[in-house]
Structure 1
Amino acid sequence: MLLDTASLYFRAYFGVPESVKAPDGTPVNAVRGLLDFIARLVQDHRPDDLVACMDADWRPQWRVDLIPTYKAHRVAEEAPAGSTAPDAEEIPDTLSPQVPVIEEVLDALGIARVGVPEYEADDVIGTLTQRATGPVDIVTGDRDLFQLVDDGRGVRVLYPVKGVGTLQVTDETALREKYGVDGSGYADLALLRGDPSDGLPGVAGIGEKTAAKLLATYGDLAGILAAVDDPAAKLTPSQRKRLTEGRPYLAVAPKVVRVATDVPLPDFDPALPREAADPERLEALAHQWGLGGSLQRLLAALGQ
């Protein structure tokens, strides 16, 4: 089980009241919400391995170099105090202080936490999925990871609809029903239609339905571009014109949109922890931040 950790703690932050606070009055709603999410996931799915995948770089420069608008609207006008990063994501002030607490608690629990400089959590997830020898459940609220769905390898996305109590199981059947493509086709669909939430312009005039029809007819992006160069291909004049004008974007978009599957990962133990890595530290964190029942429920789910 691979967790898109930031996606989940964002959902926890907005799903758990900010009145949930530590003894000193600091909000810990994202911390406690995430612990409850993980407890529920472990309890319901009993994974052998569990990895909390992190955004070591949520907006890698190599992606920005290819498409300058990539996540540009999410960049804060000014970096948060103490930040040395040239870009800082606009996140609520009461959430950012909770992230180091989340990291410390996961480490003390012994839950593998993996982030790699210059890569997003999506890329870590893509690489671990590629390396996996058995079934993989990816837990994320980000549709970008639908591109990894692969029935043949047992790779599916568990997409939270409401908390993590209600998860939409996304396999290739679900993708074909909703989008008309399978997992491998989802990235091509996404880059053709664009994604305002990620600053991806897409091809002007090519929406989701048109993109799906083109992929159904020509197989993949390469097939569509070959059709543009083939006078006999049954593209409408408008489609041919728009795709021709979109060629500069289409030349670089695949590298930006497709998750990396060859990230150099550090050594780590993905096994579900049967005992805390640092019990004393965990107890101190529980006391300092008032983690209470949330931590107890996760420990119980882990069998600790």
Structure 2
Amino acid sequence: MLMIVDAPGLWFRSFYGVPSSVRAPDGTPVNAVRGFIDGLATLIRARRPSELVCAEDLDWRPQWRVDLLPTYKTHRVATDGEEEAPDELGPQVDVIREVLTAYGIPMIGSAGYEADDVLCTLAARAKGPVDVVTGDRDLFQLVDDEAQVKVVYLGRGISKAEAFDAAAVKERFGVDPSRYVDYAVLRGDPSDGLPGVKGIGEKTAARLINLYADWNSLVQSSPFAHTARIRTALAEAADYLKAAPTVVRTVADVPLPEVDGTLPDAPADPQALDALSERWGLASPLTRLAGAIAETKAV
């Protein structure tokens, strides 16, 4: 089984979930680094993958998405135009990259695309079961029972991760995964700058989607098919409804290098890993990661 991980989601979650008092021997914060490594170990033990690949953002807010929907992630833009993030996180992300490289766990991205698109492309390429590990609800669109793709959702934390197949998505949200993009567009998502359609919440969105076979049928339906309130709301959101589905839908064919995600029998660069362990005080989490990988490979 291939496990693909939303790396930015995991290091943000680790930064805020592990106390900032967790520091390297020289006093530098390493809470995100330790949380990320421990998170991988926990996920490996729980899911037992044979392959592991991390996906990163090489463009966290692609211009082509902004051109379609100017509000996309606007509230997360810092004064320098980059993604707003705590000052103490950036240097830790560099350490995470170094640790993954030294261990032999690939992390890949694609210019002009987000980690979500990388995850989608990796899942589309896979020829066996796939676990997509993320805390981003939009990735429920990737769930596909026939292709054996599940989303391992971190909404309640890494130790309480939930694996979603199509039935679980339907039970939680009232729609099939194939219609999750439509659901997200109607409902909206303030965390991504998606306003949604005024007055349409989760229950109404699910009801409308299940009334119509596809998106065009819903938005182009007879004006008499909806209540006056919904007719007005859809009409007022017409421009948004044209653009948003493309913004929300992940891309399944982004340019990616061929990558071997086989769990390593041993670190790719033991000396570099030892140096990183000593420099940043990572002996315990790296021992736990090694143990998780060894247990998984022994099964």
Shorter-chain TM range is over 0.9
Instruction: Give the letter for the 2:97 counterpart.
Output: E
Partners of 2:172 and 2:73 in 1: how far apart? 25
CA distance in 2, matches of 1:107, 1:162: 29
Letter in 1 for 2:41: A
Q: Deviations over 1:124-181 (max 9, x none)?
A: 0011111111111111111111111112222111112443221122222222122110
1:71-120 superposed Cα distances (whole Å, 9 cap, x missing partner): 0000112x3xxxxxxx2111111111100000010011000111111110
Residue 96 of structure 2: aligned partner: 102
Of residues 269, 275, 287, the one that matches 1:284 is 275
- What is the DSSP-based 3-state SS (H/G/I as helix, E as strand, rest coil) of the residue aligned with 2:234? helix
Residue number in structure 1 paired with 2:86: 92
Cα distance per residue 1:186-212 (max 9 Å; x no partner)? 110001111111001122222221111
Unaligned residue ranges in structure 2 (runs of 5+): none
| Secondary structure of 1:10 counterpart | helix
Match of 1:156 among 142, 150, 156: 150
User: Cα RMSD (Å) of the superposition?
Assistant: 1.5
> What is aligned with 1:69?
71
* 1:83 alignment counterpart: none
**Distance in 1 of aligned mates of 2:120 and 2:208:** 26
> For the Cα contact (< 8 Å) 1:12–1:163, is it kept in 2?
no
Which residue identity does 1:295 align to in structure 2?
L
Q: Report SS of the residue matched to 1:158.
A: strand
Q: Which moved more, 1:92-101 or 1:169-178?
A: 169-178
- In structure 2, the partner of 1:261 is 252
The TM-score normalised by the length of structure 2 is 0.94
Q: Which runs of 4+ in 1 moved over 6 A?
A: none
**Matched-pair identity in %:** 55
Q: Is the 8 A contact 1:37 1:163 kept in 2?
A: no
The residue identity in structure 2 corresponding to 1:260 is: V
Aligned-partner Cα distance in 2 for 1:268–1:102: 19
Q: What's the TM-score once normalised by structure 1's chain length?
A: 0.92
1:218 corresponds in structure 2 to 212
1:170 maps to amino acid: F
- The CA deviation at 1:219 is 2.3
Cα distance between partner residues in 1 of 2:108 and 2:7: 10
Task: Report how far residue 237 of structure 1 moved.
Answer: 2.4
State the number of aligned residues: 293
> 1:238 Cα deviation (Å)?
2.4
Pairing partner for 1:182 from 163, 176, 179 = 176
